[in-house]
Structure 1
Amino acid sequence: MNIAQLREDTPGCKEKTHFNNAGAALPPAPVLKAMQHYLQEEALNGGYETAARNAEYVDCFYGAAAAMLNTKAANIAFTSSATNSFARALSCIPFQQGDVVVIANEDYSSNQLAFLSLQQRFGIQLLRAASLPAGGVDVADMEKLIRQHRPRLVSLTHIPTNTGLIQPVAAIGKICRELDILYLLDACQSVGQMPLDVEEIGCDFLCATMRKFLRGPRGAGFLYVSDRILERNWFPLYIDMYGATWTEKDSFQPEAGAKRFQDWEQSYALLAGSYEAIQYALDIGLDKIAARNKALCKSLRDGLQQIPRIHLLDKGAKQSSIITMSIEDADPQWLMMTLRERDINTSVSSRVGALIDFDSKGVKSALRLSPHYYNTEEETQLLLSALAEILKK
């Protein structure tokens, strides 16, 4: 991996030391150029006309996303975010009162809220599998709940946004496939950070965003939908004329593939940037990206453990490129802002986004660091030195 070239491709590297890739990564030049060129063409030629002229290029997005997940282009829908993808997937499931949904304590807060809303409005029963003392979902307990209750849906967040653990998603997928249970995976923090294979994972839906480790634009995401969902002719509750054809006065026909989950109105400039971001990651190689991230995070975690007053919060047998910590007698928000004054970007996770996890850890907020492959060892040392200096005061 040519780190110097990757950083040359990334204009933001000249301005900031960016350790907030789990929030929004710095995009590479091809992503910026694709969006700028597309918007410029729209301004000169019109939106519809530009879409028609660039249809073949824009359509490359679906093939690239499919290649990244080991699936087909027909199984991919372009959306505005991972949360939007999640909602569209949920809306196609014909929930009935009393249906059981099994999730984990560590699942993303927006997903927890979606299920709580379904519980209040439609009377579903929400069950959370236990967590292991060492961190992460207890697979045995989740399997017990699945076998006992035969839920309508199992949902899991691959890498929780508030903690660095990697959930054993393929082990859960195997159980769901054996029992013919629907399986929804939130991969918003894992896509672009490591290789993903939907066949190996065994999920029916996979939700992703572009702005995080894929280094794509904000306001863009995608949804993977399995063949068995498409073959059941399920479609989102609020389908529009992009996803279906109005065939008779009181009937319609959904699109054959996952595009039935898309809307007519979408940002083609963001779609173009998203294609370039995925292709950029594929050209580097997700195996290489994962290995580089693992090395960077080990160095950073080792260094953080040497700084007084810092307490690492992450658990789990496997850990990701998200590192969270509490700071003795210091507010993480203050520390984030102090680092920002030195042109070092980090972020803060709060209890409202991780209520169960943070209560179990006895913290109200945490400083979150999220390195990515274009970060350097020198930047790691810069961050560690800044933290040590600030916390001495």
Structure 2
Amino acid sequence: MIDLAAVRAETPGLDDHKIFLDSAGSSLPPNVVTETVIAHLRSEATVGGYRAANERLAELDAVKADIATLIGATADTIALSDSASRSWGDFFYSIPLRPGDRILISGVDYASNAIAALQRARATGATVEHIPSDPTGALNLAALADLLDDRVRVVSLQHAPTNGGLVNPVAAATELAHKVGALVLLDACQSIGQLPIDMAALGVDAMSATGRKWLRGPRGTGFLYVRDATAFEPGRLDLHSAAWVSPTEYELAPDATRFEFWESSVAARLGLGAAVRYLLDLGPEQVYAAVADRAAYLRARLREVDGVTVRDQGVDNSGIVSFTVAGQDPEALRDRLRDDAVTVTVSHASSTLLDMSARGLSSVLRASPHYFVSHGDIDRFIAALTEILRCAKSIPPASM
């Protein structure tokens, strides 16, 4: 069992009775992450960036090894980057496309992925098509099977969408896509660190992830998993991703390193490594269970509040809890909660246009409790929300 008092003591962002419910945005790092980043920046200031990095080569290698351990992969399949979006795009733009090729995206795909798909379709003559959702809101596997043929080049899947607690059936969808030779690119931005991820079980060809959310790492970090990197040539290369071997020739790195560039924030990458190691030391399965517990408790408590509608879909749920409040502007309510030391955020339709438009939603409030959030924190959040709504009802409308 996770020692809640210990992890809270190691999380300074929880000082002064703050209630933090935005790990789906950018979570609170434990002390070891912040200290690792700062220590390396101080080292760079003392000996210079190159020497400082050379003195941490073993720790940098361990970052990939620990990520691989977390997701059931090998270090040579991991490329470090500055974000999930960078990782997703670097792989997607390495896929050759030609006129008539088809790109399938899910109904809850994130805006960055959909925009990239539309841009490449415009440039190559490929088409972008949407996979319908089933009545629960999850990816409709029967509809996917009907859409698939040998012209489908890539299927983009969202493991857990940004705007609610849905978890998609990735393994089953991947099996269907592979039957027609399609590649599967998984966006795990919102699932890494809060849901079990086993690359062998999921079977996807590539997966992008971020460090700043449920992993509790620094901003400006992410990684790409590529099952067989040798099958792809990234759209951009440098002297790290490839070697200049003759005046007219270069050789690609023999593994996922071909998706990396030489220049990076070494401090941030070491911070990411510290975050992953912190998770591994806590015990990932315990963390996943704690997140599920907090989210389930929060959904149940929200359903007790007059005027609140929980908007999560799917059969299996993630740690993201989305809701609306009748007669309340989500942004104004978010800001009012902030005054009470409660951090939630708002997810807008522009981030998940297909899904939100289909449901007639322009925005939802989003609360995402991590394992360091207690049931008592959630109770205090519900009390603050209830009081805000009680006061709002007691204020008479302005006279015209």
Q: Give the TM-score range, shorter chain.
A: over 0.9
The AA in structure 2 aligned to 1:190 is: S
Deviation at 1:31, TM superposition (A): 0.5
Query: Which of 22, 27, 30 is residue 28 of structure 1 equivalent to?
Result: 30
2:295 aligned partner: 297
Gaps of at least 5 residues in structure 1 are none
Deviation at 1:9, TM superposition (A): 1.1
**In the comparison of the two structures, how many residue pairs are matched?**
389
Deviation at 1:45, TM superposition (A): 0.4
- After superposition, the C-alpha distances for 1:24-52 in whole angstroms (9 at most, x for unaligned) are 00000110111011001000000011111
Deviation at 1:212, TM superposition (A): 0.3
1:51 aligned partner: 53
2:144 aligned partner: 142
Instruction: Check if 1:167 corresponds to 2:190.
Output: no
Aligned partners of 2:41, 2:67: CA distance in 1, in Å? 22
Aligned partners of 1:264, 1:231: CA distance in 2, in Å? 19
- After superposition, the C-alpha distances for 1:228-267 in whole angstroms (9 at most, x for unaligned) are xx232x2211111110001122211011110110011100
Are the equivalent residues in 2 in contact too, given 1:225–1:258 (CA < 8 A)?
yes
Query: Which of 337, 342, 366 is residue 364 of structure 2 equivalent to?
Result: 366
1:325 aligned partner: 323
Deviation at 1:201, TM superposition (A): 0.3
Local SS of the residue matching 2:278: helix
Aligned partners of 2:214, 2:350: CA distance in 1, in Å? 23
Deviation at 1:302, TM superposition (A): 0.8
Local SS of the residue matching 1:120: helix
Deviation at 1:149, TM superposition (A): 4.8
Are the equivalent residues in 1 in contact too, given 2:101–2:151 (CA < 8 A)?
no
Are the equivalent residues in 1 in contact too, given 2:153–2:181 (CA < 8 A)?
no
Aligned partners of 2:341, 2:179: CA distance in 1, in Å? 50
Aligned partners of 1:69, 1:150: CA distance in 2, in Å? 30
Local SS of the residue matching 1:137: coil
Query: Which of 84, 87, 93 is residue 85 of structure 1 equivalent to?
Result: 87
Aligned partners of 1:67, 1:322: CA distance in 2, in Å? 25
Aligned partners of 1:235, 1:324: CA distance in 2, in Å? 39
1:112 aligned partner: 114
Deviation at 1:326, TM superposition (A): 1.3
Query: Which of 121, 127, 135 is residue 123 of structure 2 equivalent to?
Result: 121
- After superposition, the C-alpha distances for 1:195-254 in whole angstroms (9 at most, x for unaligned) are 201110011111000000000000100000112xx232x221111111000112221101
Are the equivalent residues in 1 in contact too, given 2:230–2:255 (CA < 8 A)?
no
Are the equivalent residues in 1 in contact too, given 2:175–2:203 (CA < 8 A)?
yes
Instruction: Check if 1:314 corresponds to 2:316.
Output: no
Instruction: Check if 1:231 corresponds to 2:230.
Output: yes
Are the equivalent residues in 2 in contact too, given 1:313–1:361 (CA < 8 A)?
no
The AA in structure 2 aligned to 1:38 is: H
Are the equivalent residues in 2 in contact too, given 1:100–1:149 (CA < 8 A)?
no
The AA in structure 2 aligned to 1:350 is: H
Of stretches 172-181 and 215-224 in structure 1, the one that deviates more from structure 2 is 172-181
Instruction: Check if 1:132 corresponds to 2:130.
Output: no
Of stretches 316-325 and 118-127 in structure 1, the one that deviates more from structure 2 is 118-127
Deviation at 1:178, TM superposition (A): 3.4
Instruction: Check if 1:247 corresponds to 2:245.
Output: yes
Deviation at 1:119, TM superposition (A): 1.7
Aligned partners of 1:94, 1:356: CA distance in 2, in Å? 26
Aligned partners of 2:150, 2:128: CA distance in 1, in Å? 11
1:179 aligned partner: 180
Aligned partners of 2:259, 2:280: CA distance in 1, in Å? 25
Deviation at 1:150, TM superposition (A): 4.0
Measured on the aligned residues, the alpha-carbon RMSD in Å equals 1.1
Aligned partners of 1:46, 1:172: CA distance in 2, in Å? 48
Local SS of the residue matching 1:152: strand
Are the equivalent residues in 1 in contact too, given 2:150–2:182 (CA < 8 A)?
no
Are the equivalent residues in 1 in contact too, given 2:208–2:224 (CA < 8 A)?
yes
The AA in structure 2 aligned to 1:211 is: R
Aligned partners of 2:52, 2:350: CA distance in 1, in Å? 43
Deviation at 1:176, TM superposition (A): 2.8
Deviation at 1:174, TM superposition (A): 1.7
Aligned partners of 1:133, 1:211: CA distance in 2, in Å? 32
Are the equivalent residues in 2 in contact too, given 1:243–1:260 (CA < 8 A)?
yes
TM-score by length of 1: 0.97
Gaps of at least 5 residues in structure 2 are 392-400
Identity %: 35
Deviation at 1:177, TM superposition (A): 3.3
